[in-house]
Amino acid sequence: MENNTTGNAGIVLVSEVYPDNIVVLPLENRPVFPGLALPLSFVNREIVKSVLYSIEKNNAFIGVSYIKTTNSTDFFKSEKHKTGTLLKILKVINKSDDNIQFFAQAITRFYYRKELTRQAITHWQVEFEYDEKQPVSNELKAYTLAIINSVKQLIKLNPMFQEQMKLALSQVGMEKPGLLMDLVASFLTADGDKLQPLVEAVDLFKRSDLLLKLLREEIELNELQQHIEKQIEEKISTQQREFFLREQLKIIKQELGLEKDDKTSEIEVIEKKIKKLVLTDEVAKTIEEELNKLRTLENGSAEYQVSRTYLNWLTDLPWGVFSDDNYDLAKARKILDEQHYGLNDVKQRILEFVSTIVKRRKVSGSIICLVGPPGVGKTSIGKSIADALGRQFFRFSVGGMRDEAEIKGHRRTYIGAMPGKLIQCLKRTGVSNPVIMLDEIDKIGASYQGDPASALLEVLDPEQNSDFLDHYIDVRFDLSNILFVTTANQLDTIPQPLLDRMEIIKLSGYILKEKVEIAKRFLIPKQRKEHGLKANEIQITDTALVQIVDGYSREAGVRSLENQIKKIMRMTTLLQAENGNSRINVSQNNLKDFLGHPIFTTEGLYKKSIPGVTLGLAWTAMGGATLYIEAQGIKGRSPGLKQTGQLGSVMQESAEIAYSYIQSILPDDNFEFFKNHLVHLHVPAGATPKDGPSAGVTMALAIYSLAINQPIKKGLAMTGELTLTGKVLPIGGVREKTIAARRVKVFELIFPDENKKDFEELPDFLKEGITAHFVSYFDEVIKIAFAK
């Protein structure tokens, strides 16, 4: 349903007898006041039927009343107010089955008495009330004058009311105050709920009070609206004025040659960059094409922004810009020695690379891959290489990288496209020959978005990277002057084609002596500075450092050692804050107060030799390690071999080979042991997965020792792969395993004979005090293990 009480309204006077039984239509938006002629529109089949009935049967008289509650299913049956307005339908403008528009005159108020039904149409029996019945007193005239003054004030604030109000005031005088009030009320913009009390107010004094309140609200609303509009206009005027002035100033400066527009300025900046670069023909041609394109585009267009960004990337790259290399090998060696203690073999390999660069005056083409456990200094060595060469250094991690675009960039057709990491690092370093470190290359991923490892094949191939093509830049850049350094914890997860392109340098880890020296030279001064302590405020003795390394941080690197030193520094600052201690001395006696009880004690588990227990040497991604192997016979069970300790498939096979081989070599009197016992082989630390072939000799010796019921000599550790015929095969990780043995103070070791050359290549400080036996067959192991 829609009713419309706006339009060309006029005052029409009607004088005839009104029926007291009328059809009453519901009004949704606002009530209708007597004295006004206005168009109305309804969309409802029942209302159309009722209007036509009233025209035909009720002399075109019909009532309207503002609704109280809307009936959502049938609007015609909505609950209406008891007071409404009688209308005289003057003309039907438009009509259909469910829509009707008519022009009507509002005559007077009526009041509901009761409801009737005639010819299936609901009627109201009503009673009429006329304003003329009340005399016009001086007080009422005063109210009327107040209303007229408020109307004049409203006209000044809102000219929209001017014509309508002037018409009403000119046609109705002071002698008809009720009609004047109704006409003024009909022009107000108040809600229907506020206007309905005016319809119900028969008493003119009451109606005057209500109308004056509504007029006051209308005036205040218009004053607020005018104030807001004035503020907006002032703001817009100021902004427009400033804009016009700036534009005029810009044009004046351009005319005088003092300033250029944004596009011209940007193009000039790009052209200045180009003059400082040594461009290839391909790059120069591409930049010129993009500049010509940029000149034809509008500043605000999206294509302009894309083209400008592309040109900025092209001109920000260091085409033909190189840093001067340091060709002084003595200085390079000094830098490496100052920044790293130990690692002499690693430094030697690095200096070999540097010397080749010095000789050829360019990168030789090899890619360095630093492999070792966490915390051994791989990343810091890469930074030292850059310092030794006098080059810029840039590091980014490829660990977990799954998108090829991270390496080769996105195509410019994508929103938010960017070059790859390599082009980004060239922009940041500002030279074409930096040292770039690709960290954690063994942890690179792959997904549906591409394989970054495959993308690195081009980057790390000396035969291809001279013409590297980034998808975003789309012109070739020479990467052959870059020295690439990669780091990894292990080589197993690096794709073989990628591994073939790299020169492997292994960092096995540090022994106790080296860790103590590193702590004294680097870690303690660094942490003392980071915690705001002076040298005379904290003192850690050498014996305490030895205890920290041996009991709290036995890993191959020094990261855990640094964490322990941090704990000591934090405890020192706390003691100073709470107790006012000016100097803290950390010794072997009070070390537990700072770090608690030692963490590592398991490798010293056995105080004396026991039959069936041997000590093996193992290699892990964390460095070398020692592990006990225990064998125990269970009498009365079915003969056989039981294995525990979370052993991998290769290690289980080694155990089975060892079990079979020992059975084959034992004499008959000892062989009875296997007929009457189940051999249970266990490797402690069962929560840790273990695998690899190098424990074969250790397992076999544990079973042999159990079978003959004799313990092996104390302080002996071993490693080697065993075959079914007793042949001892070579293993890897000799350096790491030697370091692990020294760490637990085991100085007599058994290695496969073919690993003798690996042991001899170890630095003297690692071999010092070590008695190494090299065996080819297991019977040699037996002689060494049970020698008196």
pLDDT at 446: 67
Mean pLDDT of 662-690: 83
CB 58, CB 19: distance < 8 Å: yes
Residues 6+ apart with CB under 8 A from 286: 314, 474, 475
Torsion of CA 38, 39, 41, 46, to 10 degrees: 70
Return mean pLDDT, the chain.
84
CB 778, CB 729: distance < 8 Å: no
CB-side neighbour CA atoms (13 Å) of 434: 21
pLDDT at 14: 44
CA distances from 220 to 14, 52, 165, 754 (A): 36, 43, 18, 103
Identify the sign of the CA torsion 548, 554, 558, 559. Answer: negative
CA distances from 559 to 203, 209, 486, 555 (A): 94, 87, 20, 8
What would the pLDDT profile of 498-526 be if each residue is shown by its tens digit?
Answer: 888 888 888 877 877 888 888 998 899 99
Percent helix, strand, coil in the chain, to 5, is 45, 20, 35
Instruction: With residue 633 as reference, give the H or E element that holds it.
Output: strand 623-635
Name the DSSP letter for residue 522. I
What residues pair up with 503 in beta bridges, in sequence order?
368
pLDDT at 256: 65
Q: Where are the alpha helices (DSSP H) in 320-432?
A: 329-339, 344-360, 378-389, 405-408, 421-429
Mean pLDDT of 463-488: 87
Counting DSSP H helices and E strands in the chain, the numbers are: 28, 26
Q: How confident is the model at residue 452 (pLDDT cuts 50, 70, 90)?
A: confident
CB-side neighbour CA atoms (13 Å) of 387: 15
Question: Helix 162-171 to helix 177-186 angle, to the nearest 10 degrees?
Answer: 170
- Does position 293 have pLDDT exceeding 90, yes or no? no
CA distances from 308 to 313, 569, 657, 671 (A): 9, 52, 70, 86
3-state secondary structure of 488: strand
User: Which carries the bigger pLDDT value, residue 637 or residue 97?
Assistant: 97
Q: How confident is the model at residue 757 (pLDDT cuts 50, 70, 90)?
A: very high
Mean pLDDT of 531-556: 87
User: Which carries the bigger pLDDT value, residue 227 or residue 158?
Assistant: 227
3-state secondary structure of 425: helix
d(CA 717, CA 711): 13
Task: For the sheet with 435-439, list strands across it.
Answer: 393-397, 435-439, 483-488, 367-371, 502-506
pLDDT at 9: 42
Amino acid at 642: K
- The CB density around residue 574, as the number of other CB atoms within 10 Å, is 11
User: Which carries the bigger pLDDT value, residue 773 or residue 129?
Assistant: 773
pLDDT at 205: 85
Q: How confident is the model at residue 378 (pLDDT cuts 50, 70, 90)?
A: confident
Where in the sequence numbering do the catalytic residues fall?
694, 737
- Does position 754 have pLDDT exceeding 90, yes or no? yes
What would the pLDDT profile of 737-752 be if each residue is shown by its tens digit?
Answer: 888 888 788 899 999 9
Instruction: With residue 147 as reference, give the H or E element that holds it.
Output: helix 138-157
Distance of CA 154 to the CA centre of its chain: 58
Among 126-140, 348-362, 401-415, the range scoring the smallest mean pLDDT is: 126-140
Distance of CA 181 to the CA centre of its chain: 66
- Does position 12 have pLDDT exceeding 50, yes or no? no
Model-level pTM? 0.60
Q: Where are the alpha helices (DSSP H) in 535-682?
A: 542-552, 559-579, 591-595, 649-665, 668-676
pLDDT at 98: 86
pLDDT at 10: 44
> DSSP assignment of 53-64, as one string?
HHHHHSTTEEEE
pLDDT at 752: 95
Instruction: Look at the block and give the residue holding tokens 């307005």.
Output: 85
pLDDT at 4: 42
d(CA 590, CA 583): 14
Q: How confident is the model at residue 6 (pLDDT cuts 50, 70, 90)?
A: very low
> How many percent of the chain have pLDDT more than 70?
91
Amino acid at 540: I
What would the pLDDT profile of 438-448 be if each residue is shown by its tens digit?
Answer: 998 888 876 66
- The CB density around residue 721, as the number of other CB atoms within 10 Å, is 19
What would the pLDDT profile of 317-372 be if each residue is shown by its tens digit?
Answer: 998 888 888 878 888 888 888 888 877 888 888 888 888 877 877 776 668 899 98
d(CA 706, CA 434): 60
Mean pLDDT of 153-173: 71
Kind of pairing between the strands at 121-129 and 21-22:
antiparallel
What residues pair up with 111 in beta bridges, in sequence order?
83, 127
- In terms of average pLDDT, the best of 25-29, 116-120, 142-146 is 25-29
Radius of gyration of the chain (CA): 49
Residues 6+ apart with CB under 8 A from 270: 287, 291, 311, 312, 315
